[in-house]
Amino acid sequence: MKKTSLLLTAITSILLTSLVQASDIEFEISGINSDKGKLYIQLFKGEENYHKGNAELASVVNAAKGSTKVIFNNVDQGEYVLRFFHDENNNGELETNLFGLPVEGYGFSNNAKPNFGPVSYSEVVFIVPDNSNTIINKTTAIY
């Protein structure tokens, strides 16, 4: 009985943990201009990690002209930021011009766009609540 009780408690705990914490993030990127190269996508948890470049998760997918969906599974509740770039020449790096501005496609969560300067955290952050299955975030690529 005691063993059964413990087992039930453990199962319940796992189920509850799963119910409370497990969310998926679906990042829909549109406006990809070619099939060349790959998309590098990063997911950041919290402002500090975003500013420090410490990604929680990352993904690489083949580029496909038009729209692409990337899914990050089992994400805890919290504040998140997504960003990506289109590595058109497939060299594993975001190409920039001499002044450091991107010359390959890129983008951010919430479809945030730089405007005479970098996007702010408040423009790119989105919340993953504790009771959600799938969070959908959409953006368009900037070339």
Partner 1 sequence: MQRRQLLKSIASLSAGAFILNLPLKALSATKQSPQFVNYKELFNQALNNSPELIGFANVVDDFPPQVLSVEGKIPADINGTFYRNGPAKHEREEQRYQHLFEGDGMLQRFTFSDGKIVHQGKFINTPKYQKEQQAKKFLYAGPDTPIQHSLPVSSSGMINTANTNIIPVGEDLWALWEAGSPTRIDTESLEYREQIILGEAGKYNKTLQGLPFSAHPKVEANGDIWNFGLNPSGHIVLYHLAPNGQPNNVALINTRYQGGMLHDFLMTDKHLLLILPSLKMKHSSDKSRQGFFSQIVFDENIPMRVLVIDKANLTLKKEYELPAGFAFHYGNAWEEKDGTIRFDASLYPDVDVLHNLSNMMKGETNNAHTKAQTAFFILKPNGSASHVLLDTTSEFPRVCNHIVGLKNERLYHLSSKHDSLWSDTVCALNTNSGKLVSYDFGKDFLVEEHIPVCPQQKEGTGYLIGTALHVPSKRTCVNIFNIENIADGPVARAWLSHHLPLGFHGNFKIS
Binding site for partner 1 (CB under 8 A): 40, 42, 51-62, 68-73, 83, 85, 87, 92-104, 106, 113-119, 142
The distance of closest approach from Cβ of residue 133 to partner 1 in the complex, given in angstroms and rounded to an integer, is: 16
* Residues 6 or more apart in contact with residue 54 via CB below 8 angstroms: 44, 48
Considering beta carbons, is residue 9 or 54 the nearer one to partner 1? Answer: 54
Distances (CA, A) of 72 to 28, 42, 61, 96, 104: 11, 10, 12, 27, 23
Considering beta carbons, is residue 13 or 96 the nearer one to partner 1? Answer: 96
Considering beta carbons, is residue 26 or 79 the nearer one to partner 1? Answer: 26
The distance of closest approach from Cβ of residue 125 to partner 1 in the complex, given in angstroms and rounded to an integer, is: 15
Q: What is the distance between the alpha carbons of residues 87 and 39, in angstroms, rounded to a whole number?
A: 6
Considering beta carbons, is residue 16 or 71 the nearer one to partner 1? Answer: 71
The distance of closest approach from Cβ of residue 92 to partner 1 in the complex, given in angstroms and rounded to an integer, is: 4
The distance of closest approach from Cβ of residue 72 to partner 1 in the complex, given in angstroms and rounded to an integer, is: 7
- Scanning the chain, the segments in alpha helix (DSSP H) are 2-21, 47-52, 121-124
Angle made by CA atoms 54, 30, 82, in degrees to the nearest 5: 15
